[in-house]
Amino acid sequence: MKVLLFTFLAGLYFGSYGQTVGPSDTMRLASMELRCPPVHTWRSMMEAQLRRLQSGDSDEVGGTVYSIASAWAAAGFMGQTNELLTLFWDCKIRDPKYFEHINDGFCVMWKLSGKQPVKMPFETKPVDEIVQDNWDYLNVFIPGTIPVIPDSIVSKSWKDLTGRALSTKAELLGFDTRKTNHRADQDVQKEAILAFSKFFANDTPVAYEFSREASIAAIIATGLGEEESAKAFIIRLGQGYLQNPGSLMLANLMKDTATARLLLRGILAPIWGISDSLCRADLQSVKAILTKRARKGPTLVFGELTLFQLMRRISDSAICQKDIDFDTPVIKSRWLGYPPAKPELIRRTEQRLGIRLPEDYKSFLLVSNGFRATDNVGVTFLPVEKIGWLRDLDSEMAEILGTPMGTDDSARAAAFRRSILIGGLNEEQQFLLVPPGGTDKDWKYWFFGAWVPGEEAYPSLRFYLEHELQFMMDR
């Protein structure tokens, strides 16, 4: 896994190098503005988060709660942060130890603010240890590992570099593994700040792609006492967060005492357009959703829409986003589906498979006999006459997925062996219906992708379709 990670980082950082001489050594941080304007507002972000809390699985709920709490803490609203975390911990939806990386950030913020939850379901670490671990974590250029840094970067001055090569050079200047704290001498760190400033002023296409670099720059600047420069880097990261709300790089700023003190002063609140009263209103909304969820489990977000209306909205969104070049008739009709399946055709398929298909899937077929993929990683749903057992349609995949990976994987492997493929034939992602069997009394609805660590389970096909619409709305 580490080799894959560093290989990925190598491609990310060294995909292109600039070899031209940059402008003046003195960089004005005021010029660090986004090349691409934010596509989200705080309100739209919160609406998306609330939808995920209502309909997502336990993993998604946990990640969403921690995303909200991280943003509130990074904006300086520790009271609301602590109330939200306490509520989540009491619900016992997800083990909070799973979020150790972010919990460490909260530990630093609690220590500095003097505000922390009454009880915490995990042991806290010493702040000094968190700060050092965070700094080391940010340094991907560990000697003797991949990626190997080209000599064209190591041997040149940052003044002669641009693009990703420049950001790499800036990082190299900030880190020094020969030192006890792995931080370079102050004069070298000042050079790093100038290099980062040049990079962000001239070479950054999209802010959120470089939130890690902005974190490093802010930590270095704050440690040097260059507060205005540090604020500029933090604001840069905050703007990137609006472009990509899924980013959790906020924790890296929270886990350094110097940058955490700036965050507690609320410098990101006006960037995001949030206030104390707005956080309190959103906290009440989250409480209502989690309370309802504790009683009923996940519920549909677009339950007022008929299945046809939902599929129509999915079609409109996919066509507007243009991830796929749809045929002209599809674009004109604003419909990714096909004519409805005849009830007799569904019955013949059930006879062929020797099983009664779940009612919600049959309702889907009566609206559209198959459905086109919404994007390049979406599932193409098959017409009912072409669905079949996974073992018959893709024996190799059935054998791989149907082989237990350990002693506790036998039930999951057995589910794959008896699954029905209804979407994604000959694609990199599939949608499977798993009939009841063993201890499973209900149908399972599984999305499986080559890039997904395991299957993604949904309570019903309708939940998956709503997830597709939410994904497009939240992009």
Q: List per-residue pLDDT tens for the chain, 475 residues long.
A: 323 332 333 333 333 333 333 333 333 333 333 333 345 788 988 999 999 999 998 888 999 999 999 999 999 999 999 999 999 999 988 898 999 999 999 999 999 999 999 989 999 999 999 999 999 999 876 555 556 788 888 899 999 999 889 999 999 999 998 999 999 999 999 999 999 999 988 755 455 578 889 999 999 999 999 999 999 999 988 888 877 766 557 999 999 999 999 999 999 999 999 999 999 999 999 999 999 998 999 999 999 999 999 999 999 999 999 989 999 999 999 999 999 999 999 999 999 999 999 999 999 999 999 999 999 889 999 999 999 999 999 999 999 888 888 877 888 899 999 999 999 999 999 999 999 998 889 999 999 988 877 889 999 999 999 999 999 988 7
Q: Verify that 268 and 322 share a domain, yes or no.
A: no
Q: Verify that 225 and 334 share a domain, yes or no.
A: no
The answer as to whether 289 is a domain residue is: no
The answer as to whether 301 is a domain residue is: no
Q: Verify that 255 and 376 share a domain, yes or no.
A: no
Q: Verify that 265 and 219 share a domain, yes or no.
A: yes
Decide which of 237, 262, 277 is a domain's last residue. Answer: 277
CA distances from 38 to 98, 210, 253 (A): 30, 15, 21
Residue given tokens 């641009």 in the structure block? 162
CA distances from 441 to 435, 436, 437, 438, 455 (A): 9, 5, 7, 8, 19
The answer as to whether 24 is a domain residue is: yes
Q: Verify that 246 and 367 share a domain, yes or no.
A: no
Report the domain count for the chain: 2
Contacts of 299 (CB under 8 A, 6+ apart): 54, 55, 292, 293
State how beta strands 456-458 and 444-449 pair.
antiparallel
- Provide the edge-to-edge strand list for the sheet that holds 456-458: 388-389, 420-423, 429-434, 444-449, 456-458
The answer as to whether 294 is a domain residue is: no
The answer as to whether 286 is a domain residue is: no
| CATH number, residue 321 | 3.40.1580.10
pLDDT digits (tens, 9 = 90+) for 117-166: 998 999 999 999 999 999 999 987 655 555 678 888 889 999 999 988 99
Distance CA 189, CA 273 (A): 32
Q: Verify that 53 and 162 share a domain, yes or no.
A: yes
**Distance from chain centroid for Cα 365:** 32
The answer as to whether 297 is a domain residue is: no
Which residue range is the domain that position 367 belongs to? 307-474
Q: Verify that 234 and 86 share a domain, yes or no.
A: yes
Decide which of 277, 298, 318 is a domain's last residue. Answer: 277
Q: Are 428 and 377 in contact (CB under 8 A)?
A: yes
**Which H or E element spans position 445?**
strand 444-449
Q: Which residues does residue 458 pair with via DSSP β-bridges, in sequence order?
A: 445
The answer as to whether 195 is a domain residue is: yes
Q: Verify that 76 and 213 share a domain, yes or no.
A: yes
Alpha carbon dihedral 368, 370, 373, 378, in 10-degree steps, equals 110
Q: What pTM did the predictor assign?
A: 0.83
Alpha carbon dihedral 158, 161, 167, 168, in 10-degree steps, equals -80
φ, ψ at 437 (rounded to 5°) = 180, 150
Distance CA 262, CA 254 (A): 9
Decide which of 277, 299, 328 is a domain's last residue. Answer: 277
Q: Verify that 273 and 150 share a domain, yes or no.
A: yes
Q: Verify that 273 and 319 share a domain, yes or no.
A: no
Q: Verify that 368 and 259 share a domain, yes or no.
A: no
Q: Verify that 254 and 313 share a domain, yes or no.
A: no
Q: Are 380 and 369 in contact (CB under 8 A)?
A: no
The answer as to whether 406 is a domain residue is: yes
**pLDDT attached to residue 315:** 97
Give burial (CB, 10 Å; 0-12/13-18/19+) of 192.
buried
Distance CA 79, CA 279 (A): 10
Long-range contacts of 350-359 (CB under 8 A, 24+ apart): 353/387, 353/388, 353/389, 353/420, 355/420, 355/435, 357/433, 358/433, 358/443, 358/461
